[in-house]
Structure 1
Amino acid sequence: MHAKSPSRFAKSGAFTLVELLTVVGIITLLIALATPTLVDVIRSTRLSSAGDSLLNRLSLAQQEAIARSKEVEFRFYKYVNPNSDRPSQALFYAYQVVETPSGQDARAISEPFYLESGVVLAPEMSLSPLLQTTPAQTQGVLTQQYVFVPGSGGTGSDVQYAALRYYPDGSCRLLNSNTPGNTATATALAYTVPPLANSFLTLVETQFVGSGTIPPPNYYCIQIDAYTGKARVYRP
């Protein structure tokens, strides 16, 4: 009885070059087919995460106003971020909860929150009516400091902001002017109740800012009832 040759046994358990190339080709094809879907899922998840965080903090700002029995402001900051996809355009990249005591300087009651990379609040009137009045941030009279300074560089004087002010009864009003879409001067500002049809803002991916695609393929829209302060979400 003859024993099997070791070389013959090893050869029968190995892959040929053609078989290896076939397997590699199949794997490459599967990756090519799956990549666009995977990228879309990642982008959608990133936008959802940014929207959920903003929604939760809007609710927390309302709760702060009720708990403190004081007016609390939710500020959306607009500035140029050289580290973003739009390094030369001023966009809404961050937000913060601020207390505005009567006769005193505004002061932050939360740290600033920055939106996910690649996500901003849409500046267009058709997507974010709540963000059309954007006065320049000024220094406090007593502190001589800015409430917010961008983490990406620049100074507080380079920042504009839109604001919602929450009241102890849970309602909110919009920092507004008579000329929507334009930067307002301090003397022209007032806190008004926006109509429900125009009481919303929208998170979008930076690539769709100014694209003319309304609505964009993916978005996270938050509508706020000014009388109750309650928010509702709309997604595609």
Structure 2
Amino acid sequence: MQRGTAKLIESFMKTFSPATPRRGFTLIESLSVVIILSVLIALATPSMLGAIKASRLTSAGEQITGKIIEAHGLALTFSSDIELRLYKAPLANPVDGSKGHYLQLFQWEENDPDLAAESGSEVASLKQLGPPEILPESIAISANPSFSSLWNLAPQTETSPEGDRDYVAIRFRPDGSTDLLEAVRWHLTLVDSQSSQLTELPPNFYTIQIDPVTSRLEIYRPE
């Protein structure tokens, strides 16, 4: 009886005895995990950066095409010329802190010819339509005229309290056409800002071509 009781107690103690503590990670194992994670991050970073740049290019391209479509539509709606200005990136940051390329729409409003003659003012005046829109960070219009023929348009300068800004402009007519010469292929190409001065296109770009007669747009991107 005593022997049976002793075995029962021994069995009970084994069942509820503290579990043997598990062995922790060694220094070598911990370092191995860190190295593997570092390699995985290094391999993934270029593809992640490429995806971010591609997304910004798409956003900038849609921003410009949207402005062109808006200018075309407003010209039809108001039965007046709508001017789209493409401002060049300044060599130095303006006083207001803005930098990079940006867009601005203006409406040409006809003044009364008689009143204009009496006052000596212009027959038509410009009305700003909405605020200027800056392209996404790190995206620029290629400075190479071969890729952005719109830079071949007559350069103009706008004077403001923030400083002088150089730009080129396209006028959209109420009949759906533009003031661009018909014999020229008009386009602009968006690239990463670090590639804007290159003589060759980078692997990723966004080209917008505009028909001077119909304002129809065509988009070209690498495969």
* TM bucket normalised to smaller: 0.7 to 0.9
Match of 2:105 among 97, 100, 104: 97
What 5-or-longer segments of structure 2 have no aligned partner? 1-10, 111-122
When Rg is computed on C-alpha atoms for both structures, the one with the higher figure is: 2
- For 1:82 and 1:204, locate their aligned partners in 2 and report how far apart those are by CA, in whole Å: 20
Task: Label 1:5 to 1:18 Cα distance change in 2 as closer, same or farther (>3 A).
Answer: farther
Deviation at 1:199, TM superposition (A): 1.0
Deviations 1:94-147 (A, max 9, x none): 111111223233121121000111111122211111122211225xxxxxxx5x
Q: CA deviation at 1:227?
A: 1.0
Give the TM-score taking structure 1 as reference length: 0.74
- Counterparts of residues 65-214 of structure 1 (less than 5 Å): 65-80=75-90, 82=92, 93-102=101-110, 103-132=123-152, 133-138=154-159, 146=160, 154-155=162-163, 158-174=164-180, 193-196=181-184, 198-212=185-199, 214=200
Summarize deviations over 1:170-229 as a string: whole Å, max 9, x none: 11123xxxxxxxxxxxxxxxxxx2435x211111111112222x2222211100011111
SS in 2 for 1:165: strand
| In structure 1, C-alpha distance between the alignment counterparts of 2:38 and 2:202, rounded to whole Å | 31
Is 1:43–2:53 an aligned residue pair? yes
TM-score, normalised to structure 2's length? Answer: 0.78
In the TM superposition, what whole-angstrom CA distance separates every residue of 1:63-118 from its partner, at most 9, and x where no partner exists? 0000111110111012416459xxxxxx9611111112232331211210001111
Greater share of helix = 2
Secondary structure (helix, strand or coil) at the match of 2:137 reads coil
Change (3 A) 1:79 1:105: farther
Q: Which is further off, 125-134 or 58-67? A: 125-134
Query: Identity of aligned pairs, percent?
Result: 32
CA contact (8 A) 2:157 2:167 kept: yes
Count of aligned residue pairs for this structure pair: 192
RMSD: 2.2
The runs of at least 4 aligned residues of structure 1 exceeding 4 Å deviation read none
